Amino acid sequence: MSNYPAILYVEDDARSARIMKMLLTGTMNLQHVNIFEESSDFIERVEALSPQPDVIFLDIHVKPYDGFEMLQMLRAHPNYRNVPVVALTASVMNEEVEQLRVAGFDSCFAKPLDIDQFPDRLQRVLNGEVMWYILS
Partner 1 sequence: MDNHTMTVSAVSPEMDTVDELKLKIEQLQKENAGLRQDLADANIEIEAVVDEFQRTQVEIEQAKKDVERAKEQAERANNVKSAFLASMSHELRTPLNSIINFSKFVAQGVMGPVNDEQREALGEVIDSGKHLLSLINDVLDMSKIEAGALRLFMEDNVNVTTLLESALSTAKSLVADKPVDVTLEIEKTLPLIRADRQRLLQVMLNILSNACKFTEKGSIRIKAHNNDDTVVLSVTDSGPGIAKEDQAAVFEPFKQTDTGLRQGGGTGLGMPISRKLAEAHGGTLWLESQKGEGATFFVAIPVTKPATSPSA
Q: Judged by CB under 8 A, does residue 130 bind partner 1? A: no
Q: Judged by CB under 8 A, does residue 103 bind partner 1? A: no
Name the burial class of residue 62, with classes exposed (0-12), middle (13-18) and buried (19+) by CB atoms within 10 angstroms of its CB: buried
Q: If DSSP codes are grouped into helix, strand and coil, which group holds residue 55?
A: strand
Name the burial class of residue 105, with classes exposed (0-12), middle (13-18) and buried (19+) by CB atoms within 10 angstroms of its CB: buried
Instruction: Kindly tell me which residue out of 48, 49, 76, 115 binds partner 1, with binding defined by CB under 8 A.
Output: 115
| Residues 38 and 62: beta-carbon distance below 8 Å | yes
Q: Judged by CB under 8 A, does residue 38 bind partner 1? A: no
Q: Judged by CB under 8 A, does residue 117 bind partner 1? A: no
Q: Judged by CB under 8 A, does residue 61 bind partner 1? A: yes
Instruction: Kindly tell me which residue out of 1, 3, 26, 128 binds partner 1, with binding defined by CB under 8 A.
Output: 26
Instruction: Kindly tell me which residue out of 19, 43, 83, 103 binds partner 1, with binding defined by CB under 8 A.
Output: 19
Please give the residue ranges that form the binding site for partner 1 (CB under 8 A): 13, 15-16, 19, 22-23, 26-27, 61, 89-98, 101, 110-113, 115-116, 132-135
